[in-house]
Chains A and B, each alone.
Chain A
Amino acid sequence: MVDAFAYVPAVVLLPFFSFLVALGAGKYLPKGGAFGGIAATAGSFLLSLWIAATVAGGRAYDETLYTWAAGDQFELTFGALVDPLSALMLVIVTLVALLVHVFSLGYMNDEGETGLPRYYAGLGLFTASMLGFVVADNLLMAFMFFELVGLCSYLLIGFHFREPGPPSAAKKAFLVTRFGDYFFLVGVVAVFATFGTAAFAGEGSFPALAEAALAGDQAVWTPGGLDVMTWFTVVGLLVLGGVVGKSAQFPLHTWLPDAMEGPTPVSALIHAATMVAAGVYLVARMYGFYALTPTTLAVIAFIGGFTALFAATMGVVKDELKQVLAYSTISQYGYMMLALGAGGYVAAVFHLTTHAFFKALLFLGAGSVIIAMHHNEDMWDMGGLKARMPVTYYTFLAGSLALAGIFPFAGFWSKDEILYEALVHGLNEPLLLGGYVMGLLAVPVTAFYTFRMVFLTFHGEPRTDLAADPEPVRWNVKGPLTVLGSLAVVTGFINMVPVQKVLGLEGIDYLHRWLDNEWGGIDGLSSHHYADLGPYSSGYIAGGEVPTVLVGAAVSLGLALAGLGLAWRLYNVASPTEHTAKLGGIKDVLYNNYYLDELQVWIAYRTEDIAGGADTFDQGIIDGVVNGVSSVSLAGGSRVRRIQTGLVSQYAAMLTLGLIALLVLIGVNGGWFL
């Protein structure tokens, strides 16, 4: 049979070609090149499935495909690494991309947007970069595509460049993530300097070398003879900078809500399902390195937990549909970070998977609502859409249940596992426990704002004429919604750990076994290996594993239901009203996102002030000196010329004096007068 892995580059290149086609010939093609993109992503999706199947068939793939720079000091290469993790990610990305392309037909074409070739070119390039990032086999390549992903998000967020908002949002998105990427790049360079390679997998890979170095049987370069452990922690944190930026973790999360300026499908694809996932995916990709440094893990966990709670609280008071979803995205990625920090590698990937589906679903649902509402996003103008757009409603509901973590929807399983991991490992780790507590507190908040959103949008009476008579949506909107809706319901079942633990049914934790290379994979990249490397030991409450599982699940589910109930109580009425007043002073803080944007704006302005000062200094002092030299010498010149008085007898006098001076000089020097 043909080797599926031979087509790994094709997976990346197909969308790239669709980018070229849309860019070059888009305006001559029907639908502005949409079909090209659909075909390409569909192709990539099928190939990804095939590749995943091949991996399931017990094989993996790690090849260097192209040498970028063949130095003796370092060899900089591109390659493909296909193991269970990347295979899974490939499927997710291509599927969501495909659905988003289809949905765009409804959202962009049917709405008569202009500049569609640019749009589909952007989508294509984005998909290509993301896939390139997923299959990257070394840190440098990962960084490169990571950056390209950033470029695409810039282009797509700023798609409506004629309006003032989007360009600014795009700038902010790129700039903030660029700030994170700076640390990432330093990390990449540091990895090269330390290990001489940046490969993810294999004997010579840098996680393996790091492991050996810590074991003491491998010498590595460290700056100024720094202790190896400390240095690795530093490197890990540096790379983490990029993660925090891309995955919109505190304090670099501020770009994501603004990024909602982009077209909704873009938000679905980039700011929910895939690009933001890149950060988390990166940590998972090089988890073998992070697992070695407890400090880094603890930091990751704490950032994650904090972000989860922090973002959720802000989501409570937002009035616009997509804003709520934006903050929920940030919060959910906080959970994944918490999981990774807590040593819950599988849990993180699990939540990544489920979240990709239900968040894409929610965004597309929101998109459908926005179409219906003629691009009015304010939830207070909606209401009662349930009856008028049932498909959207039920799929959206499924997504919301998943997001809120209600049994048995996808989100419940993944979130529950995360919290469980955090708990059992956190019992001996105070920092981690803090993360767990915050994650737990975020659960009811999440449930609350999710259903506040649902009720305000779909339930009650229509609060405007628009809502009373929404514009119908077509198959190209409903189709993707249906697919994702069903996925949001079922994805959870790929990894029913609690069930397995409680009922003792072996082997239904498919994802665990998948990521544990049970069907095949690459040594050193298995969840078991990571667990062995990890610093954590499990502790249990209420005596034993099973009770812990049950208690944990029960608590989180209870909290979720509580939040849901509160939302029901406040907003599931005919004509709901603002209750934010009850929050008192906190309300403003939440409305203003804890004034973090203001802080960053302030920093930006101060930087510009410094720049202005530098400019003044440059023009005044440095250039002043340069010009000063010339004016001084010219002044000297006009002094000198005054010697020429025009009076010939004075010439005679000066001539004589000069001669005498010369005589004296030479005479004294030669000692004639002695």
Chain B
Amino acid sequence: MSNALPAWSALSPALLLGLTGLALLLVDTIRPNERSNTSMALVSALGALASLSVTVWFVVAGTGHADTGGAITLLEGAVKVDTLALFFTAIFASVTALVVVAAHDYFHDHANPAAFYSLTLFAATGMALLAVANSLAVVFVALEMVSLPSYALVAFLKKDRGSVEAGLKYFLVGALSSAVFLFGISLVYAATGSLIFGEVASGIESLGSLAGVAGIGIVMIVGGVAFKTASVPFHFWAPEAYEGAPAPVSAFLSSASKAAGFVVAFRVFTEAFPLGASLAAGIDWALAFAVVAAVTMTLGNFAAAVQEEVKRMLAYSSIGHAGYALIGLAALSSGSAGNEAVMGAAMAHLLVYGFMNTGAFLFVALAERWGIGRTFEDYAGLARRAPVACTAMAVFMFSLAGLPPFAGFFSKYFLFMGAIENGFLWLAGLGAVNSVISLYYYSRVVRAMFLDDPATPSALDAIDVRPTALYAAVVFAAVATVLLLPGFGPVIEAAEAAAEGVIAASGSF
């Protein structure tokens, strides 16, 4: 299938996203004074969906899969399209689609929404690029390509103090982290003399006296990843950014951008720094991830349990979920059969998370659109006024908590299974404790919406509109969250195939 097309076409998902972004700019420049929010949203949604469909088609066709001639490398090996890349591109594209559709209603009265769509699309392009990056240089460039629009997006509401403060903090921490990341890359380059993953890997095997340098570099790269995935200790930006940013942006960052961080991690740490070789050189980055994962999930969940505002609670919970997903790297053990399983489970979790978490933030967007407050109390009795949306929210909450019959159940339990299979009982146990706590605070939302009575009878009169697009996005996310449970087979198999791909590419893992 793929050999019928020119090799560069393997990049078409990323290209589609990028072109859509440019198209948006074009539209905006040609007719600047026409506030065509709708057309913008439409174009960007179509672009995202187009790229999504192409991606899915590629996955189904097995592009870059070992069975069909293996990964497709382009640009002197700087870029590589394989199942992993496509899998994550699918996540990015679908989240983008959801977000832009929702944004249409969220920014219905905004002065100039056009910039939002183009920025989102460019960020998405950067993510797609991250997914295919095969060289540390490309990784860094793509990473910046994701970060810079994100900073702007967070601070998008220029007159909103919260948005600006969030943007500032996000930017400062981000700049620092990317500097650390970059320095890490430079050290690895210093130690191995290359930026292409494959060559770095071979360099790692023969480090000699430079092991320490490479080690410091690798740990700094871990830091960079931690920033993108909002993991301790680089998580500090997350609560503020997610809380202050416009809700669609929070959705975008907490789902897609996080996933972007993970795709880098999965690829770099398997292909560039194979565990076996790293261990031989005394660089136990899996241990580093284990520590980070443990601290992250604990901090995220415990802090989320005591929040007053739903949005901030979701922010912390997304930190907690970063901790879960990190298990996918932390629970790797050299040469163990369970590696594909656990990493695949982490990827699958990110996919499911892409839907349920985006959905949750979009519900918050809906609430902000309605203009009801942000605290749990403000959500009291919401189910009476908006049963459909609240049911969807309940689905997201229970799914995030890992309860059947929702997809979050499968992904989370497969993650724990993977950890157990590789002998990381303590990680699984910690994850279990955390998910019990998460059950508590997620059910607080459900309780507020369904069980509690509104503070005042007039509290919910603000709910006077039914923003169609937002509803559509939320409901679609909910449906996806439910359907992914019975339909989990292909997902997890694709994810495991992806993991297998990168692990195999790393040769001796």
Contacts and interface: CB of A to CB of B under 8 A. Distances in A.
Contact of B216 (A644, A652, A663): A663
Interface residues of B, number: 42
Nearest to B299: A640
A644 B303 contact: yes
Contacts of B172: 648, 651-652
* Most B CB within 10 A of own CB, among A630, A648, A652: A648
B287 A655 contact: no
Interface in A634-674: 634, 636-638, 640-641, 643-644, 646, 648, 651-652, 654-655, 657-659, 661-663, 665-667, 669-673
Given A637-B303, A652-B172, A672 B211 contact: yes
Contacts of A577: none
A659 B219 contact: yes
Contact of B284 (A646, A654, A666, A673): A666
A640 B437 CA distance: 14
A630 B440 contact: yes
B291 interface: yes
Contacts of B281: 670
B303 A666 contact: no
B220 A659 contact: yes
A282 B237 CA distance: 84
Contact of B236 (A638, A655, A666): A655
A670 B215 contact: yes
A73 interface: no
Contacts of B219: 659, 662-663, 666
Given A640-B302, A641-B306, A663-B216, A669 B236 contact: no
B284 A655 contact: no
Contact of B291 (A638, A641, A655, A662): A662
B305 interface: yes
Interface string A552-572: 000000000000000000000
Contacts of B283: 666, 670
Contacts of B223: 659, 662
A640 B303 contact: yes
B180 interface: yes
Interface in B171-211: 172-173, 176-177, 180, 211
B174 to A, nearest CB: 11
Contacts of B470: none
A338 B232 CA distance: 86
Query: Interface extent on A, as a size class?
Result: 20 to 34
B32 interface: no
Contact of A651 (B216, B237, B292): B237
A396 B108 CA distance: 104
Nearest to B216: A663
B124 to A, nearest CB: 27
A674 to B, nearest CB: 9
A652 B176 CA distance: 8
B154 interface: no
Nearest to A657: B233
B212 A641 contact: no
B307 interface: yes
B288 A655 contact: no
Nearest to B215: A672
Contacts of A671: 282
Contact of B288 (A644, A646, A662, A672): A662
A641 B309 CA distance: 13
A673 B212 CA distance: 7
Chain A residues touching B, majority SS: helix
Interface string B162-176: 000000110011001
Nearest to A667: B215
B188 to A, nearest CB: 14
Nearest to B222: A662
B209 to A, nearest CB: 10
Given A666-B283, A670-B283, A633 B305 contact: yes
Nearest to A642: B303
B233 A654 contact: yes
Interface in A605-649: 630, 633-634, 636-638, 640-641, 643-644, 646, 648
B176 A655 contact: yes
Nearest to A633: B437
Contacts of A637: 302-306, 437
Interface string B212-243: 10011001101100000000111011011000
Given A640-B299, A672-B215, A652 B173 contact: yes
Contacts of B240: 644, 646
B285 interface: yes
B234 A655 contact: yes
Contacts of B285: 666
A651 B303 contact: no
A659 B173 contact: no
Contact of A638 (B220, B306, B316, B440): B306
Nearest to B436: A633
* Most B CB within 10 A of own CB, among A655, A669, A673: A655
B437 to A, nearest CB: 6
Nearest to B168: A648
Nearest to A663: B219
Interface in B418-444: 437, 440
Contact of A641 (B168, B180, B307, B437): B307
A538 B307 CA distance: 91
Contacts of A662: 219, 222-223, 233, 288, 291-292
Nearest to A635: B306
A657 B305 CA distance: 26
Contacts of B299: 640, 643
A651 B236 contact: yes
Contacts of A659: 180, 219-220, 223, 233
Contacts of A672: 211-212, 215-216, 282
Interface string A49-88: 0000000000000000000000000000000000000000
* Most B CB within 10 A of own CB, among A665, A666, A671: A666
Given A634-B306, A638-B306, A641-B307, A666 B288 contact: yes
Contacts of B298: 640
Nearest to B238: A644
B303 to A, nearest CB: 4
20 contacts: A633-B437, A641-B302, A643-B299, A643-B303, A648-B169, A651-B173, A651-B236, A654-B233, A655-B176, A655-B177, A658-B232, A659-B219, A659-B220, A663-B216, A666-B215, A666-B284, A666-B285, A666-B288, A672-B215, A672-B216
Given A636-B302, A643-B303, A666-B219, 19 more contacts: A634-B305, A637-B303, A637-B306, A638-B306, A640-B298, A646-B240, A648-B236, A654-B236, A655-B177, A655-B233, A655-B234, A659-B180, A659-B220, A662-B291, A666-B284, A666-B285, A670-B215, A670-B282, A670-B283
Please list the 4 inter-chain residue pairs (A to B) with the smallest Cβ-Cβ separation, ordered nearest first. A658-B233, A670-B282, A672-B212, A651-B236
